[in-house]
Structure 1
Amino acid sequence: MKTTGNTILITGGGSGIGRALARHFHELGNTVIVAGRTAATLAETIEGRAGMHMLTVDASDPGSIEAFAAEAIARFPAINILFNNAGIMQREDLTRRGHTTVAEQTFITNVLGPIRLTNALIEHLTAQEDAAIVNTTSGLAFVPLIGTPSYSASKAALHSWTVSLREQLRGKVEVIELAPPAVRTELTPGQSTRENYMPLDDYAAEVMALFQQVPTPEEILVENVRFLRSAEREGRFDETVRMISTL
């Protein structure tokens, strides 16, 4: 993937990994549009940075996604890279009857959101030079964290969908999967202070170095996530499930 001279649209750009990568790509000489639900956090991301812009979108609402895609193309017709980065993560107790709201909302946002936005932009992207789609999954796509079953399953689904998307678009649009480990962000309450999680600045720096490899890897995997990515192929899947669920 070309890393400079692009017009990049990043969902979930108001905080965490999305904000960090948006700023890094902007510093490389890209026009960057950050998107998310909350205008205030998006404004913080782009403050004082010429060439960064913001648009609001509700990744759980099909109508919002369609309107957002139309506005993005109209205002920024040079968009050639889409980062599907928005996502939510919540804990669930599956041992007793209760509401399935968390599971439903997780799949709507984490799976249907990227699918719907990609669909809305696909004809535009296939007409652009140096086009790419980056889908943010997780190390938990490969080894689930039992306390967040729907999140883990949603990322596994997005991983599988990304593999198919890559093959269907091969030769037209580059498709890359970004699979983070546990990173110090506010994805879940208190996560930004957990010492055993990877510092956000360190994660972003390692990711940017990987994006600048030629050719760009189909999976962007920092060293901290390879333990999860390779668990099944190395024959230690069950052991790893139990291990990470006690952390």
Structure 2
Amino acid sequence: MEMTGNTILITGGGSGIGRELALRFNGLGNTVIVAGRRRDALEETIAGRDRMHAVVLDIEDPTAITAFAKQVVTEHPALNVLINNAGIMRREDLTGTRNLRDAEETITTNLLGPIRLTDALTDHLAGRPNAAIVNVSSGLAFVPLTGTPTYNATKAAIHSYTVSLRKQLDGRIEVIELAPPAVQTELTPGQSTREGYMPLDEFIDEVMALFRREPTPQEILVERVGFLRWAERDGRFDQAFDILNTH
């Protein structure tokens, strides 16, 4: 993936990892479009920045995604990089019959949203030079946190989907997976200051260094996430599962 001269669309660009990626990539000379539900948060991201744009997108609405894709390629025909970052994480109790709203919204936002947006933009991206798609999964795709079962499942699905997408788009669009560990963001209440989670600035520093490698790794994995990513391969899955869920 080229580090400069791109036009990059980042979903969930109003906060957390999405916002910081947007600012870092813009600082390298890229045009960056941030998308999300909250106009005020998007405007905070782009405030005072050249070559940054904000577009509201309801990632849960398939009709809105189709209209958004048409708008963004019309207004930014040079678009060549998509970063599917938007996501939600909710705790769930599986011990009895329950309202499935949290599970259904998590699947729609974290899995169907990226699939729908990727589908809507694939033809355009395939015609652009240095095209890339970056899908943000999670270390929890590989070792689940029991309190967030549907979140884990959507991220495992995104990992699998990305592997297939990479194979099918080989030679046309570069496909990269970014799998964060637990990072201090606003993803869940209190998480931005939670002890033991990776500080956001440190995470982004390491991520950008990995993006600069030539060739770009197929999976962007900071050192801290390796404990989860390679647990099963290294015969440590049960141990990692117990440690993760004890904490």
**Which interval holds the TM-score relative to the shorter structure?**
over 0.9
Matches within 5 A, 1:59-138: 59-138=59-138
Matches within 5 A, 1:141-152: 141-152=141-152
Amino acid at match of 2:239: E
Q: Deviations over 1:171-230 (max 9, x none)?
A: 000000000000000100000011200000000010000000000000000001001000
Partner of 2:164, secondary structure, is: helix
- C-alpha displacement of 1:243: 1.0
> Separation in 1 of the partners of 2:210 and 2:119?
27
> Separation in 1 of the partners of 2:202 and 2:105?
30
Partner of 2:159: 159
Partner of 1:245, secondary structure, is: helix
Runs of 4+ in 1 over 3 A off after TM superposition: none
Partner of 2:242: 242
- C-alpha displacement of 1:156: 0.0
Q: Deviations over 1:34-57 (max 9, x none)?
A: 000000000000000011100000
Q: Deviations over 1:16-38 (max 9, x none)?
A: 00000000000000000000000
Q: Deviations over 1:44-90 (max 9, x none)?
A: 00000011100000111101101110110010000000000000000
Partner of 2:197: 197
Partner of 2:37: 37
Q: TM-score of the superposition, structure 2-length normalised? A: 0.99
Amino acid at match of 1:3: M
Q: Deviations over 1:144-190 (max 9, x none)?
A: 00000000000000000000000000000000000000000010000
- C-alpha displacement of 1:236: 1.2
Partner of 2:14, secondary structure, is: coil
Q: TM-score of the superposition, structure 1-length normalised? A: 0.99
> Separation in 2 of the partners of 1:77 and 1:114?
20
Gaps spanning 5+ residues in structure 2: where?
none
- C-alpha displacement of 1:239: 1.7
Amino acid at match of 1:197: Y
Partner of 1:235, secondary structure, is: coil
> Separation in 2 of the partners of 1:245 and 1:28?
39
> Separation in 1 of the partners of 2:209 and 2:236?
29
What percentage of aligned pairs have identical amino acids? 64
Amino acid at match of 1:51: R
Amino acid at match of 2:19: R
